[in-house]
Structure 1
Amino acid sequence: MKQKILLGLLVVAILTLSACGNNNNGLLSNPYKQSEFIIGTLVTLSIYDEDKEDVLELAFERIDELEHMFSEEIPESEVSNINRNAGIEPVPVSDELYSLIKDSIEHGELSDGTFDVTIGRLTSMWRIGHDDARRPEQAEIDEVLPLVDYRKIIVDDEDQTVFLSEEGMQLDLGGIAKGYIGDEVQKLMNENGVTSAIIDLGGDIYVLGSRPTGDDWTVGIQNPFLSRGELVARVRASDMAVITSGIYERYVEVDGEQYHHLLNPIDGYPIDNELAGVTIICESLVDGDALATTVFAKGIEEGLALVETLDDVEVIFVTRDRELVLSSGIEDNFELVNDNFDIID
């Protein structure tokens, strides 16, 4: 069995031109920049506003605070407490976690169950992304599937509690928490007067404001089949989230077959369709994070139909056959830069 983790292989890369000094608008050509491995990925924050370097430390403190609320890997977290009390009693939670749980339920409904944060029993068996990753036996999967159902999460607005109604249920917020944390970082930056920044949470990216030149940011879409730095396309964006999810990010290989980390909560196995990756462009990271999983699970036809019903949401599909499918509103801000890929209708 081989375990493979490709941090950021289809991570969306920010393409900027380096220069020295600062501009007349008070923005730096070379940003204040800090990177840390946190929330299970490499997080890089870049701030272009002069005299705002101290905001980087505040932002990483906020990320650490939220990780200790949301991570099921941390025994003292609020999520771990909810999991321990599954089928026993409701658990009072923070404003942040309560908001995130309600967002998760809404995305469960929007996705018809293909996005489901009660997938924890499945992810804890597969363990893809960890050294002890494995392919569970069918009997193990069959045993836990009845415990995967977001409709069994009971929330109480008056007491602000969360209750998993069946013993053995487990939350895993990995498909949405990173987006929520990114939105909180953006909020913190806005509150501290930052007007130009890049928030990069291992593939969940938010471009705040414009480049120091006043132009939109150019965001590169990584080729999923080649080494890091080789692009398929570019998109222009400002004050937007760009989130990419794909089968090549994390996987485990068993008996010559690769099993990627995007699990189908319906059958308990990795999603199997024509897609290699999906990039969502929208206004918030939390919605983009969940939608990337939802749209990937639905495939091109159903996923595209869903995106076309949503305001201010666009999608780029990359298929295993090196074909790209675009939603109707992205074409004017999209540029194909790799002749080995074709855009199809």
Structure 2
Amino acid sequence: MKSFLSSIALLLFFVNLSSAQVQIRRSMTLMGSVFEITLVDKDSSTANLHIDQAVAEIERIENLISEWRPNTQISRVNQNAGIKAIQVDSEVYDLCKRALYFSQISNGAFDISIAALDKIWRFDGSMEAMPSEAQIQQSVAHVGYQHIILDSTNSSIYLAKAGMKIGFGSIGKGYAADKAREVMKNLNITAGMINASGDIASWGEQLNGEPWTIGVLNPFKAHKMIKVLKFKEHAVATSGSYEKYVEFNDVRYSHIIDPKTGYPSTGLVSATVYGPSAEFANGLSTSVMVLGAKKGIKLAKQFPQYRFILIGDNKKIYR
């Protein structure tokens, strides 16, 4: 099934006869998720070649940071947890450094070492009871960003505890969207949008001269929007629990786990953050979901370039 999804799943294009340009959108599976790449270009053949280059950039990043592919630099870091530091490319080192920055400013609500979390929570409808306190505490035994040691002199990453693991599921797709946008702009593509399963980076205008539009879903009303965002060069990321969650004693527990406690986040069902970078917006939205409305808003307000729309499980909307 995956090999089928990896092929072109969707190809749409629109032609503007007056400007002799086209707008093409292609969908494919990358980094284990569905990506949609939309470009405004001079013709369909050129646009498809440029989309191929965007795809190549995303695949290049996946081959650096995937913890699922055994030969990536991050996999080598994980394989040597508690053993030795692994030298990595400056790009990988810097991404890890930015991830640790999010851990620091969120007081551990964001943590790439959560990749080592024991999967005791299931969000497929099969859970019938809460895990025990002992199980929850044990699940985070190998989680802790404080044990990720960076050495700038050697450009190396060391996981100080055996059994640790890091992964970039929280910001990797946003980073890939940012980088693909950068590559396209360097090729003088005047407009487009990279949608990495909801982590979105856009620039320019649509073929019809309109801004790009992104709808913020209302999790309590199917097919309804809280807000429609309209922008040119911008980025958006949403973290939410409205699709994957469990409920016990009238409390909703989301699939987004607090790395410090092992408990799922509660209080918010959705956090949308938008601003210049999809990577940064993604890190901020994940942090806010774990922190909850009060602490999350306090954190988000430290970054005036970014705006937020939070939706509480009590249906309250914070802007």
Structure-2 separation of matches of 1:299 and 1:253: 17
Relative to structure 1, the CA distance from residue 193 to residue 87 in structure 2 (aligned partners, 3 Å threshold; closer, same or farther) is same
Question: What displacement does 1:172 show?
Answer: 2.3
Question: What displacement does 1:304 show?
Answer: 1.6
1:97 aligns with 2:89: no
User: Which string of whole-angstrom CA distances, capped at 9 and with x for unpartnered residues, describes residues 44-84 of structure 1?
Assistant: 10101223321111111222222222222222222221111
Q: What is the alpha-carbon root mean square deviation over aligned residues?
A: 2.7
Structure-2 separation of matches of 1:27 and 1:312: 32
What is the count of residue pairs matched by the alignment? 304
Relative to structure 1, the CA distance from residue 69 to residue 132 in structure 2 (aligned partners, 3 Å threshold; closer, same or farther) is farther
1:234 aligns with 2:228: yes
1:39 aligns with 2:31: yes
2:184 equivalent among 185, 189, 207: 189
One-letter code of the match for 2:225?
L
One-letter code of the match for 2:150?
V
> CA contact under 8 A between 1:45 and 1:200: conserved in structure 2?
yes
User: Which string of whole-angstrom CA distances, capped at 9 and with x for unpartnered residues, describes residues 202-226 of structure 1?
Assistant: 1111121122343422221122234
1:243 equivalent among 214, 237, 241: 237
1:158 equivalent among 129, 135, 153: 153
Secondary structure at the aligned position of 1:279 is classed as strand
User: Which string of whole-angstrom CA distances, capped at 9 and with x for unpartnered residues, describes residues 279-324 of structure 1?
Assistant: 0011001101100011122222222222222131100011223332
70-79 vs 290-299, which moves further: 70-79
Structure-1 separation of matches of 2:202 and 2:246: 32
Relative to structure 1, the CA distance from residue 301 to residue 260 in structure 2 (aligned partners, 3 Å threshold; closer, same or farther) is closer
Relative to structure 1, the CA distance from residue 103 to residue 281 in structure 2 (aligned partners, 3 Å threshold; closer, same or farther) is same
* 1:307 corresponding residue in structure 2: 300
* 1:57 corresponding residue in structure 2: 52
2:64 equivalent among 48, 69, 72: 69
Question: What displacement does 1:160 show?
Answer: 0.9
2:273 equivalent among 280, 290, 297: 280
Question: What displacement does 1:96 show?
Answer: 2.5
1:119 equivalent among 106, 114, 117: 114
> CA contact under 8 A between 2:265 and 2:292: conserved in structure 1?
no
Structure-2 separation of matches of 1:308 and 1:256: 31
Structure-1 separation of matches of 2:19 and 2:96: 40
Task: Name stretches of at least 5 consecutive residues in structure 1 with no aligned partner.
Answer: 1-17, 327-345
1:110 aligns with 2:102: no
Relative to structure 1, the CA distance from residue 20 to residue 264 in structure 2 (aligned partners, 3 Å threshold; closer, same or farther) is closer
Question: What displacement does 1:128 show?
Answer: 5.5
> CA contact under 8 A between 2:272 and 2:309: conserved in structure 1?
yes
* 2:287 corresponding residue in structure 1: 294
One-letter code of the match for 1:39?
M
The TM-score, its normalising length taken from structure 2, stands at 0.86
1:323 aligns with 2:316: yes
Relative to structure 1, the CA distance from residue 99 to residue 19 in structure 2 (aligned partners, 3 Å threshold; closer, same or farther) is closer
Secondary structure at the aligned position of 1:148 is classed as coil
Relative to structure 1, the CA distance from residue 182 to residue 139 in structure 2 (aligned partners, 3 Å threshold; closer, same or farther) is same
* 2:4 corresponding residue in structure 1: none
Structure-2 separation of matches of 1:172 and 1:107: 14
155-164 vs 299-308, which moves further: 299-308
Structure-2 separation of matches of 1:307 and 1:264: 18
Secondary structure at the aligned position of 1:315 is classed as strand
User: Which string of whole-angstrom CA distances, capped at 9 and with x for unpartnered residues, describes residues 173-193 of structure 1?
Assistant: 211111111111111111111
Structure-2 separation of matches of 1:305 and 1:77: 37
Relative to structure 1, the CA distance from residue 82 to residue 131 in structure 2 (aligned partners, 3 Å threshold; closer, same or farther) is farther
Structure-1 separation of matches of 2:216 and 2:17: 28
1:261 aligns with 2:255: yes
Task: Name stretches of at least 5 consecutive residues in structure 2 with no aligned partner.
Answer: 1-11
Which structure has more relative contact order (CA 8 Å, sep 6+)? It is: 1
Relative to structure 1, the CA distance from residue 202 to residue 132 in structure 2 (aligned partners, 3 Å threshold; closer, same or farther) is farther
Identity of aligned residues (%): 28
